[in-house]
Amino acid sequence: MSSIPAPLLWTVILGLAVGSYALRFAFIGFMGGKPIAPWLMRHLRYTAVAIIPALVAPLVVWPAPTDGSPSLMHFAAAAATLAAGYLTRNVLCGLGAGGVSLLLLYLAA
């Protein structure tokens, strides 16, 4: 796996540290009791649930272990992870189900 250049890594760490802190501090620190606009609140609610699936979808359809060629095995493991996480509402159950199904498929192949 390619190594990440140190200057990039530290820029990312510092940038994220400052940026994340600013987001967390924004309202509790500066805005006092001022309410946040409802339309903004409405969009903020869906940022994580939009960005993370957008990031993961190409990784599932064109998985890295097969150098990007679509693979039923990886797709099935991904589907099992998502389904288990959704049904149990528990991140670890999802991850466990995904890991086990990946292992089973790998052994079966």
Partner 1 sequence: MAITTTKSAFWKGFRDSAPFIFMASPFGFLFGVLAAEAGLIVPEAFAFSLAVFAGAAQFTALQLMQENAPLIIILISALAVNLRMAMYSASLTPYLGDAPMWQRALAAYFMVDQSYALSIVKFEAEPEMTAPQRMAYFFGTNGIVAPAWVIATAIGALVGTRIPDSWGVDFVLPLAFLAMIGPMLRTPAHIAACFVAVATALPAAALPYNLGLIVAGIAGMIAGAQAELWLERQKTKMEAAQ
| Distance of alpha carbon 92 from alpha carbon 105, whole angstroms | 20
Binding mask 78-97 for partner 1 (x = CB under 8 A): x--xxxxxxxxxxxxxxx--
Question: Which residue among 28, 69, 72, 107 contacts partner 1 (CB under 8 A)?
Answer: 28
109 contributes a contact to partner 1 by CB under 8 A: no
Indicate the DSSP class of residue 27. I
44 contributes a contact to partner 1 by CB under 8 A: yes
26 contributes a contact to partner 1 by CB under 8 A: yes
